[in-house]
Chain A
Amino acid sequence: MLFFIAKRLVNAAGVMLTVALIAFIIFRFVGDPVELMLNEQASQAQRDELRQRLGLNNNMLVQFATFVANAARGDFGISYRNQQEVFTLIAERFPATFELVLMATFLSLAIGIPLGVYTAIRRDTVLARLLEFISVLGVSLPSFALGILLILLFSVTLQWLPAFGRGEVVQIGGWSTGLLTPSGRLALIMPSVTLSLFQITLVMRLVRAEMLETMRTEFIRFARARGLTDRAVHFRYALRNCLMPVITVTGLQIGNLIAFALVTETVFQWPGMGLLFVQAVTFVDIPVMAAYLMMVSFIFVTLNLAVDLAYAYVDPRLREDAVAGTANGR
């Protein structure tokens, strides 16, 4: 098990280094940072001085090493646009995105799994077919369209929910949360629904397919032959067997959610990392873009690692240390 984790960690580090290289290349070669940072009246001496200060005269490898070392400490330099520390900027925005993604993930599992089970075990009912049809719509409807439709209905026409922003937030340590205020919670509803719709349908279709597959296996037949109740057969036996792929997909999709959050955050003017990134792109704010890239890949890699560990938790066959003195039958 330890070896397994160590191997995964080495892999993760490799991926992060590669991403760092890409981020570094963007930072270093998309335009001249010196040109971008100084105004046109700056003298040659000032330019040289800044070039020296940024270490741009050093050899490429040294520059990359410095970049990685700084990035590891969370130092991505200073935003070109508002001269703030990039790390602080992102750290300020991270809680908003995190809460949004967390809520969307929760919704996708809480709604997607029951719907998937239902459409699998009652697949001939009208409701199940209707749900499947709706799920196709869910997969095909782009999230920005849904977001705008929701705003039109619930904010403009019905005026039940705020159309943009996070509502009131409460600071807890360095973390700003909208979950503790009524207006913060209200503001979270539409963005998280928008963001999760695709995931709900994805989880639902995945669970449905896996359930149908599992229901055909011998161990389900044997469970039924032993007279176990339908509830036990469906939820304890079949669903449990479906959780592996659901964990994988959910874990990996959290990364996608962060990426999709970019669109949703723009639609709802949600003050998260995605919105920050979109603004950074408009202003060619390279350090912010590089940092965003690093940040998102870091989250991806961490999630992958978490998914691998979750496997070991769900599937005893992967817990090698649990195998003690057994013969195998294969």
Chain B
Amino acid sequence: MTETPLLSVRDLKLVFDGRKGPLTALDGVSFDIRPGEILGVVGESGAGKSLTGTAVIGLVDPPGRIAGGSIHLAGQRIDNLPAEAMRALRGRRIGAIFQDPLTSLHPLLKVGDQIVETILTHLPVSRTEARARALDLLEQVGIPAASTRIDHYPHQFSGGMRQRVVIALALCAEPDLIIADEPTTALDVSIQAQITSLIKRLCREKGAATMLVTHDMGVIAETADRVAVMYAGRIAEIGPVAEVTRRPRHPYTAGLMASIPSVLRRNATLQQIDGAMPRLGAIPPGCSFNPRCARATELCRTLQPTLGLQAHEAACHHPLVEADHG
């Protein structure tokens, strides 16, 4: 990794201050995203994927707070910026796409006005120019008859079309980084593929790096360059998509891969990982996956494994090796 990373997250720790003391939701999360790269972040619900995205865009609301670590965007530290500076950064240099297009748009404002307003907030253009730009964006995200649709309200669009509008909104000030938080989860399967490829295409065209948060390994495999697997607020494994999916090293990743049904193999029962992810207040010492792990030893129950600095790393004392994949 010689290139300077666009986004660099180091030892990010995020806690929620509760009545019984702070709960650690993210613990020592570190990763980089290079310019133009798509990093997939997977994990089950509550693993901290969305929270990581939220921390990057600086929208962690109380009682949550960043308790440690740092976030750098193109070399500039952004996790401790004043609110106003961070606001100016959001939308301008970091765009966000949220999960549910049905609730992401203001129901009472025309989609065009919402785009124009966002453009005017960030770029020194006139209202007419902003509108022309908004129209152009709507065409780019594949909205038919964009010139009439620009004056429609969100409820007049279908879910997939609304997500296209959301993407147009995220891209409207040409940010360097897009945080896409489960952008296809709320959509029909047939629409999911369209939206996924749209995000991929636009990010490539505009050279924007993307952090793609999802729990859908299929989406990751199709879209991302690298993938980070999260478990209980930590990164379990990170590496190039092909590597991680074909030769997972962390037993959790391996379990995750095995639980994806295949159309090629006829499995009588679907594989699953026994047990459930621990709750935030009850994360075991050592490796947080140890209670569910077949390979766990005494070491795993006492010492927390760390990630190294190689391209493909797993936070595991007993990683799976080539021989395990047969």
Chain A CB within 8 A of B27 CB: no
> Across the interface, do B108 and A240 meet the contact criterion of CB distance under 8 Å?
yes
Give min CB distance, A125 to chain B, whole Å. 15
User: Cα distance A217–B88 when bound, in Å?
Assistant: 21
- Which residues of A, 175-230, contact B by the 8 Å Cβ criterion? 217-219, 221-230
- Residue in A227, A230, A316 whose CB lies within 8 Å of B89: A227
> Across the interface, do B103 and A217 meet the contact criterion of CB distance under 8 Å?
yes
- Residue in B100, B107, B156 whose CB lies within 8 Å of A326: B156
> Across the interface, do A226 and B90 meet the contact criterion of CB distance under 8 Å?
yes
- List the B residue with the shortest CB-CB distance to A317: B155
- Residue in B100, B107, B117, B160 whose CB lies within 8 Å of A241: B107
- List the A residue with the shortest CB-CB distance to B100: A218
> Across the interface, do B59 and A221 meet the contact criterion of CB distance under 8 Å?
yes
- Residue in A222, A229, A241 whose CB lies within 8 Å of B87: A229
Taking CB atoms, residues of chain A closer than 8 Å to B91 are 225-228
- Residue in A225, A228, A315 whose CB lies within 8 Å of B108: A315
> Across the interface, do A329 and B98 meet the contact criterion of CB distance under 8 Å?
no
User: Cα distance A181–B258 when bound, in Å?
Assistant: 85
User: Cα distance A271–B46 when bound, in Å?
Assistant: 66
> Across the interface, do B161 and A329 meet the contact criterion of CB distance under 8 Å?
yes
> Across the interface, do B96 and A329 meet the contact criterion of CB distance under 8 Å?
no
Chain A CB within 8 A of B301 CB: no
- List the B residue with the shortest CB-CB distance to A238: B106
User: Cα distance A261–B308 when bound, in Å?
Assistant: 76
> Across the interface, do A222 and B160 meet the contact criterion of CB distance under 8 Å?
no
Band of interface residues on B: 35 or more
User: Cα distance A322–B154 when bound, in Å?
Assistant: 12
- Which residues of B, 113-141, contact A by the 8 Å Cβ criterion? 117-118, 121-122
Give min CB distance, A108 to chain B, whole Å. 23
Give min CB distance, B180 to chain A, whole Å. 11
User: Cα distance A219–B152 when bound, in Å?
Assistant: 17
> Across the interface, do A219 and B158 meet the contact criterion of CB distance under 8 Å?
no
Annotate A226-237 by CB proximity to B: 1 below 8 A, 0 otherwise: 111110100011
- Residue in A236, A322, A329 whose CB lies within 8 Å of B158: A329
- List the A residue with the shortest CB-CB distance to B90: A227
Known contacts A219-B105, A225-B59, A237-B106: does B157 contact A326 (CB below 8 Å)?
Answer: yes
Give min CB distance, A129 to chain B, whole Å. 17
- List the B residue with the shortest CB-CB distance to A124: B62
User: Cα distance A227–B156 when bound, in Å?
Assistant: 25
> Across the interface, do B96 and A228 meet the contact criterion of CB distance under 8 Å?
no
> Across the interface, do A322 and B153 meet the contact criterion of CB distance under 8 Å?
yes
> Interface stretch among B162-170, B273-281, B283-291, B316-324?
B162-170
User: Cα distance A217–B104 when bound, in Å?
Assistant: 8
> Across the interface, do B96 and A219 meet the contact criterion of CB distance under 8 Å?
no
Chain B CB within 8 A of A314 CB: yes
- List the B residue with the shortest CB-CB distance to A243: B108
> Across the interface, do A221 and B155 meet the contact criterion of CB distance under 8 Å?
no
User: Cα distance A224–B104 when bound, in Å?
Assistant: 11
Chain B CB within 8 A of A6 CB: no
User: Cα distance A240–B110 when bound, in Å?
Assistant: 13
Known contacts A227-B122, A232-B121, A323-B156: does B59 contact A314 (CB below 8 Å)?
Answer: no
- List the B residue with the shortest CB-CB distance to A225: B96
Known contacts A222-B104, A317-B107: does B87 contact A227 (CB below 8 Å)?
Answer: yes
- Which residues of A, 294-330, contact B by the 8 Å Cβ criterion? 314-317, 322-324, 326-330
> Across the interface, do B106 and A227 meet the contact criterion of CB distance under 8 Å?
no
Chain A CB within 8 A of B57 CB: yes
User: Cα distance A313–B103 when bound, in Å?
Assistant: 21
- Residue in A224, A236, A240 whose CB lies within 8 Å of B59: A224
- List the A residue with the shortest CB-CB distance to B160: A329
User: Cα distance A121–B260 when bound, in Å?
Assistant: 45
- Which residues of A, 12-66, contact B by the 8 Å Cβ criterion? none
Taking CB atoms, residues of chain A closer than 8 Å to B158 are 326-329
Give min CB distance, A235 to chain B, whole Å. 12
Chain A CB within 8 A of B92 CB: yes
- Which residues of A, 224-267, contact B by the 8 Å Cβ criterion? 224-230, 232, 236-237, 240-241
Taking CB atoms, residues of chain A closer than 8 Å to B88 are 227
User: Given A219-B105, A226-B90, A330-B102, 10 more contacts at CB 8 Å?
Assistant: A219-B103, A219-B106, A222-B166, A224-B59, A224-B87, A224-B90, A225-B90, A226-B170, A316-B107, A316-B153
A-B contact list, 17 entries, CB within 8 Å: A219-B103, A219-B104, A222-B98, A223-B106, A225-B90, A225-B98, A226-B96, A226-B118, A236-B117, A241-B106, A241-B107, A317-B107, A324-B156, A326-B158, A327-B158, A328-B158, A329-B159
